[in-house]
Structure 1
Amino acid sequence: MPAPAGFSYTERSDGSVVITHRGRAATTLRGARAAEFLSEVDSNPQLVMARWTGNYKRGNERQARSHPRNRGR
């Protein structure tokens, strides 16, 4: 599975952190969650941001494409 890409984050003056994906706001973290994120983001930023936003591949995309509900689109 390739590493996620397109994530960035901005730390605001009030201590909150805004994580964006491809230029759109994905989530805003405040308080203790923002501090925890900032301490963890140095290891592998793209993967950490994908995990915190819940926007990462789960391995079942190929199966979902062939599901009857998704065939007509």
Structure 2
Amino acid sequence: MPKPHGFTYEKQGDCVVITHRGRAAGTLRGARAGKFLAEVESGGPQLVMARWTGAYKFGNERTARNHPRNRG
């Protein structure tokens, strides 16, 4: 899986705006913003931002879920 890149974040008062390549990818407010800031400062900020915005999925999840081996 390729490592994500191009994410930035900006703290604006009590909310955090996450952008990906200049476009807004998510806004976090209140307690979620605090959790995000604590996690992003602990290390691996690009991967953390990708996970929080949901951009870590690359489209093959539906195919894998419907595979006969994974149906349960």
Question: Which TM-score bucket, shorter chain as reference?
Answer: 0.7 to 0.9
Q: CA RMSD, aligned part only?
A: 1.7
Q: In the alignment, does 2:19 pair up with 1:20?
A: yes
CA apart distance, 1:39: 0.1
CA apart distance, 1:2: 1.7
Unaligned runs of 5+ in 1: 64-73
CA apart distance, 1:57: 3.2
Of Structure 1 and Structure 2, the greater strand share is in 2
CA distance in 1, matches of 2:47, 2:25: 14
* TM-score, length of structure 2 as denominator length: 0.76
CA distance in 1, matches of 2:51, 2:59: 14
Runs of 4 or more, structure 1, over 3 Å off, are none
**What amino acid is aligned across from residue 27 of structure 2 in structure 1?**
T
Unaligned runs of 5+ in 2: 64-72
Percent identical: 69
Q: In the alignment, does 2:57 pair up with 1:57?
A: yes
For 2:10, the equivalent position in structure 1 comes to 10
* TM-score, length of structure 1 as denominator length: 0.75
**What amino acid is aligned across from residue 55 of structure 2 in structure 1?**
N
Of Structure 1 and Structure 2, the greater helix share is in 2
* Correspondence list, 1:41-56, <5 A: 41-42=40-41, 43-56=43-56
